[in-house]
Amino acid sequence: FETYVKGRKQQAIPTDEVCENCASPMVIKLGRFGQFLACSNYPECKTTREVAKPGAPDGASAGADGGGESVEETCELCSKPMAMKRGRFGPFLGCTGYPECKNIRRVSKKTGAVAPAPVPIEGETCPVDGAGLVRRHGPYGEFVSCANYPACKYIKRETTGVMCTRAGCRGEIVVKKSKRGKYFYGCSEYPKCDAVFWDKPVAEPCPKCNSPFVLEKTTKKGTTRSCAREECDYKEEVHPTGAPTMAPMGGRDAARDAL
Ligand SMILES: [Zn+2]
Ligand SMILES: [Zn+2]
Ligand SMILES: [Zn+2]
Ligand SMILES: [Zn+2]
Ligand SMILES: [Zn+2]
């Protein structure tokens, strides 16, 4: 029997590497940029990998760790070593304890730098599964999430401690950042609820209408508080704490001290 596929000029050299996506053997093919490893299950499976660099001591059989290059990072969740893997969105570090442990860490496509390990936050737990919370470095800045991310999707947001007052909404007013980098305050139930404030909500009832919170605005001139309800005209200048508004009666006090 003919075992070759006729018309396929490309030569495929079998290897003992295994495809990390479909577990088929990988073969060495010759491409425009030189040799590369490809899944023998092509075109159903399009996995490709770089061929191990020549010159390196070929311990291929020792590296049978699930198809990842070993790196010097350990998983902060289960203490197993992390391995460099290639996903649809580029390289990443994955825990070798996968699938029991789904911990991953981002790798910068440009520099190849591994994102710093998440920093555990003491005394805070995930309200979903009770695991610890960690501070992570994401592509859009730091954020706090469950240590079990991505298995648990809980992400903690900076909250103002003010509950949304829209009827039927059980959200909380959280600190948000606009695309232009400006901070504002919006409902955690967004997009279900679109309550939004540009001034900081403070969990103190309005002295005029007893609405559960007031808005605080700080400018160079000072801090003013106003009611979030349009119907209410409460507006007041607030003075920095520690400087109570007192009539100038220092004279009498001074006189008493002198006695
Ligand atoms: Zn494959
Ligand atoms: Zn792990
Ligand atoms: Zn969680
Ligand atoms: Zn709301
Ligand atoms: Zn009010």
DSSP code per residue over 97-114: TTTT---EEEB-TTT-PB
Residues whose beta carbons lie less than 5 angstroms from ion ligand 1:
19, 21-22, 24, 39, 41, 45, 47
Q: Examine residue 110 and state whether it is found in any structural domain, yes or no.
A: no
Do 205 and 138 share a structural domain? no
Give pLDDT, residue 50. 81
CA of 179 relative to ligand 4 center, distance in Å: 21
The verdict on residue 249 lying in a domain is no
- Kindly state whether residue 152 falls inside one of the protein's structural domains: yes
Predicted confidence (pLDDT) per residue in 86-136, tens digit: 877 778 888 899 888 888 887 877 777 777 778 888 888 998 999 999 888
Å from CA of 167 to ligand 4 middle: 8
Neighbours of ion ligand 5 (CB under 5 A): 206, 208-209, 211, 227, 232, 234
Domain span at residue 142 reads: 119-156
Does residue 57 lie within any of the structural domains? no
Q: Please tell me the distance between residue 63's alpha carbon and the centre of ligand 2 in angstroms.
A: 18
Residues 148 and 218 in one domain: no
Query: Are both 165 and 226 inside the same structural domain?
Result: yes
Whether 147 and 214 share a structural domain = no
Confidence grade of residue 53 (pLDDT, cut at 50, 70, 90): low
Please list, in sequence order, all residues whose beta carbon lies within 8 angstroms of the beta carbon of residue 193, skipping any fewer than 6 positions away: 164, 166, 169, 171, 187
Ligand 4 centroid, distance to 171 Cα (angstroms) = 5
Structural domain contains residue 73: no
How many folded domains does the chain comprise? 3
Examine the domain organization and report whether 232 and 183 are in the same domain: yes
User: Considering only CA atoms, which of 132, 234, 212, 201 is closest in space to residue 165?
Assistant: 212
Under the banding of pLDDT at 50, 70 and 90, the label for residue 139 is: low
- 135 lies in some domain: yes
The least confident of 54-58, 81-85, 105-109 is: 54-58
CA of 79 from ligand 2 middle (Å) equals 6
H/E element holding 54?
none
CB distance 37 to 50 below 8 Å: yes
Residues 169 and 223 in one domain: yes
